[in-house]
Amino acid sequence: MSKTILLASDHGGFALKSVLVQALRKVDCQAEDLGPEGTASCDYPAYADKLCLRLLDSGEDGQNGKVLGILICGTGLGMSMAANRHPGIRAAVCTNEFTARMARAHNNANVLCLGERVIGQGLALEIMRAFLATPFEGGRHLRRIEQFETYSQP
Ligand code: RB5
C-alpha cells in the first residue's frame, strides 16, 4: 500500500526535512513537502497548522497509516505543541525507534515530530522508518485515545 507522507518544518528543521523527503521518494511513498523552501527564519506554528489542516482534510485519522505527517523544527517540541492544538491530531516527539513504534502502536500518532538539533540524520531516518512501518494496535488503545476528545471538552 502506497502511503502519503506530508512533511513540513521551520528553518531549524529544513535540512533534515530535505533528507527525509529524498529518502521517502526512493521508496513506495508519496512525499509531499509543504515547505518552507529554504532556511530563512520562519515561524513553526504556521507550518504545523498547514500540515495538520491538510492531514485532517484527507479524512485519514492515521488508523490505517495511509496518510501521516512529519513536522521538524529545532527540537520537535514547538511543532508538537502547535500540532496538538488540533482535535484529531496526535503528534508525538520521538527521539528513538522504541518511542516511534509505540507512538503508532499504542497512541495511533498521526504526526511524527523530530528535532534536527537533537538527533542525527541516521537516527532520524531509523525513527521515520519505524514510525511509518508500525500499525496501530487498536483494542484497548483505541478506547484510550478516544478519551482525548472527551477530556478536552470545556
Ligand atoms: C527555532 O530557533 C526553534 O525555536 C524552533 O525550531 C523549535 O525548536 C521550537 O520548538
108 within 8 A of 90, measured Cβ to Cβ: yes
What are the extents of the domains in the chain?
3-151
pLDDT tens readout for residues 32-59:
999 999 999 999 999 999 999 999 999 8
Q: Is 104's pLDDT higher than 90?
A: yes
Which residues are known to be catalytic? 106
| Averaged pLDDT for residues 92-113 | 98
> Quick one: what percent of the chain has pLDDT higher than 70?
95
Spacing, Cα 71 to ligand 1 middle (Å):
12
What is the CATH number that goes with domain 3-151? 3.40.1400.10
Q: Compute the distance between CA of residue 86 and CA of residue 106 in angstroms, rounded to an integer.
A: 19
pLDDT at 63: 62
Q: Compute the distance between CA of residue 73 and CA of residue 152 in angstroms, rounded to an integer.
A: 26
Beta-bridge partner residues of 114? 72
Spacing, Cα 117 to ligand 1 middle (Å):
9
**Closest ligand 1 atom number to CA of residue 81:** 10
pTM above 0.85, yes or no: yes
User: Ligand 1: which residue has its CA nearest to atom 7?
Assistant: 74
Q: Is 1's pLDDT higher than 60?
A: no
Pocket-testing residue among 11, 39, 43, 44, ligand 1, by greatest number of atoms within 8 A of Cβ: 44
| Averaged pLDDT for residues 90-117 | 98
- Of 34, 43, 33, 51, nearest in space to 11 by CA: 43
- Kindly give the residue spans of alpha helices, DSSP state H, lying in 67-106: 77-83, 97-105
Q: Which cell goes with 130?
A: 519505524
Q: Is 67's pLDDT higher than 60?
A: yes
Q: Is 81 in the pocket of ligand 1 (CB under 6 A)?
A: no
**Region of residue 139 (left: phi > 0; alpha: psi -120 to 50; beta: else):** left
| Averaged pLDDT for residues 127-149 | 96
Q: Is 36 in the pocket of ligand 1 (CB under 6 A)?
A: no
